[in-house]
Amino acid sequence: MRRIRILIIGDTHIHDRVDSIPDKLLKLISSYLPWEVVLFTGDLTDEDVLEWLRSISKSLYVVRGNMDYLPLPKYVVIVIDWLKIGLIHGDGIYPRGNPVELSKIARKLKVQVLISGHTHTDFIRMSPNNDILLLNPGSLTGVWGGGGGSYTPSLMILEVSNKECINIITYRLINDTLEQSYSTYCTRGSIWSLKSYQ
């Protein structure tokens, strides 16, 4: 079975809070061109970013963030091989990134993985029942957010390669050094578990 590599990014806020994507992350993104799938969690805030996203991807899915004024959907549900993924921005969730509230949305969308943005802080969490994996790539540019955020530019790469496991690679730009963490999550029946982390 072939491996499908998915770029997950969001919250760039280009031209309203920052002028560009950090070079090291841009270089990393460029090293995999073209991306089979790109998922963008909203708050691109500039049509030029949308054009750039189209230029780097074969399949692009973008949702509208609370700072976006382009005609974009509020949520998207896609199927990548065996994996059903929901994509939302995450505004309206209090506190930001709340796993209980995100899990409710995921159940309404009937997805195994829910990807959101808005917090400007990357995370990998499981729903309280461990039946839904919750991902947030953070902010690609590391800009400030209304609820704080990490101020650390970050992105995720999701690899789907077999019928029950996925790999999640998180990149963070810390003090101009690109740091990476690698997680493998597997599902049996409908329950997710962490298989490995490095």
Round to whole Å and give the CA distance between 61 and 70. Answer: 14
Residues in a beta bridge with 14:
18
Find, among 147, 135, 143, the residue nearest to 173 by Cα. 143
Report the C-alpha gap between 99 and 142 in whole angstroms.
22
Tell me the whole-structure pTM to 2 decimals. Answer: 0.96
At 157 the pLDDT is 99
Q: Which residue type is seen at 171? A: Y
Tokens of 72: 């974009």
pLDDT at 144: 82
Structure confidence at residue 1 (pLDDT)? 63
The full DSSP string for 14-54 is BTTTBSS--HHHHHHHHTTPSEEEEEE-S---SHHHHHHHH
Token pair of 187 as six digits: 């599902």
What is the chain's pLDDT, residue by residue, as a tens digit (198 residues)? Answer: 689 999 999 999 998 889 999 999 999 999 999 999 999 999 999 999 999 999 999 999 999 999 999 999 999 999 999 999 999 999 999 888 899 999 999 999 999 999 999 999 999 999 999 999 999 999 999 998 877 667 899 999 999 987 899 999 999 999 999 999 999 999 998 999 999 999
Query: How much is the pLDDT for 149?
Result: 66
Homologous superfamily in CATH for domain 4-197: Metallo-dependent phosphatases (3.60.21.10)
The answer to whether 103 touches 134, Cβ cutoff 8 Å, is: yes
Amino acid letter, residue 34: P
**3-class state of residue 189 by DSSP:** coil
